């Protein structure tokens, strides 16, 4: 699957997500360009990306920041750094 993501960095939120079959890569790329041109015309500062993953679940694991809120990201960061600190102390 190919995913076209529009993300508002300032608000930290997913604005839109479109899915395309892997065989529809050209259409996905054209849609990305159209979206970027449209956002540029309105001077909207959003991140636009095309990502490929086997499914949305995999995409959510590898690119969590597009789907998680700030609290979830901070919790993940805190748990990953505390695990790192514990490992360092044991060695």
Full-model pTM: 0.77
- Report the share of the chain in percent with pLDDT over 70: 85
**Domains: count for the chain:** 1
Task: Please say if the pLDDT value at position 85 is more than 70.
Answer: no
The domain containing residue 18 runs over which residues? 2-90
Q: Are 14 and 68 in contact (CB under 8 A)?
A: no
Predicted local distance difference test score (pLDDT) of residue 89: 52
CB crowding 30-66: b at 16 or more within 10 Å, else e: ebbeebeeebeeeeeebebeebeeeeeeebeeebeeb
Which stretches of the chain are DSSP H helices? 25-41, 56-62, 70-90
pLDDT in tens, 51-65: 999 999 999 989 988
């Amino acid at each position: 699957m190919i995913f076209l993501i529009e993300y508002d960095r300032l608000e930290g939120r997913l604005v839109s997500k479109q899915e395309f079959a892997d065989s529809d890569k050209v259409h996905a790329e054209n849609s990305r360009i159209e979206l970027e041109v449209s956002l540029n015309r309105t001077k909207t500062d959003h991140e636009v990306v095309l990502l490929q993953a086997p499914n949305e679940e995999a995409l959510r694991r590898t690119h969590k920041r597009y789907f998680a809120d700030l609290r979830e990201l901070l919790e993940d960061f805190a748990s990953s750094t505390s695990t790192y600190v514990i490992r360092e102390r044991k060695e």
